[in-house]
Structure 1
């Protein structure tokens, strides 16, 4: 690993990269028309941009180099955090999305060592969508499952209103107004297929089982309902409309 006493500079990344591509038969030079590293073999042109960390400036610089060649890499010191972490995977996804390659350089006691994590290649948007089709489905289901536009985009350190929580509020408000009910009776009031699961799991502690297959609202549930008047009112109106039709 890097010694704490030694401060790294971008030029420290140059030698191991030059050595690597030179062994592959490339002519390698530094600082050519503002490009940090340029490697040339026949008509194949590779550009490598060097930085001590992955920054927006580095990404802008690298994407500008794509005007010259499709073979553009960024090179950074090997990060101290785990390379199987979510942060690392997200960074790699961003680079692949930008069709950039990635090189990491490790500074060991035996000397610097570079590694190509991945090479530049066209990003297949359709394959990416197909790979995440389940996440896309869940996203749409969550959005369509919400009834009240309760959340403010960009909020932090605030509780998010989900479709699941709305469903819990709907069930709790019905039990508060009507007294103990069965899951079947609740579903007839439009609480949906997850009613029994919500009651039995009792994630928020809002419900109590008073008899076999019969549930009521708990004291915690009564108290919590007061925090969501907008949602409770929505389901109150929906219940009134449902009763009018039936």
Structure 2
């Protein structure tokens, strides 16, 4: 059976995924909204200012979740690419197509909030720091992936080219992670460390954790919603094609 036939069959009967997402998505959205509300209000209005950075540190409650989600989103993109190229998973390309824009927006927000944070700390909106530059490259990979998805008349060629690009770009993720340790950079080291105590107080960690959980679940909810909508759209288009084919026969 060809890949297109497998895709069509899966999209025609998406019982497991649709049932799973319909049950799980309302709970994810509710918990996400609660955590974001608590985390943002707590972080912006009730957490203490930093002894060096003052109130500018409050950007952290948006910037850190976006930075994490930008890398997590691209890892999911690469995982979908691997499932598509190696195991021919019928929904991998479809999921990758929907993850790309969400991850790209998270990366863009990471860069914007980082610039807003960097201006009062470094005296400039942008520096060609290793961490900043590698995140900017990640944004270019996202844009390239989205572009390749729709660059060919044959959508399967677009999926395949985008999948290869996603696997190439995954090598940027460890550079983003370890750049602050490999090079002498202006960017601070990671907020959370498994080998030592965090460099911030618990009254900052708790609202940050709420923001991380909230934005992370919101990210997941958006992915589920977009993939579900894409499946239903493909299913609807398939039904329309069948009806048109049957009408032409008549």
* TM, length-normalised to structure 2: 0.23
Whose strand proportion is higher, 1 or 2?
1
* TM, length-normalised to structure 1: 0.24
Whose helix proportion is higher, 1 or 2?
2
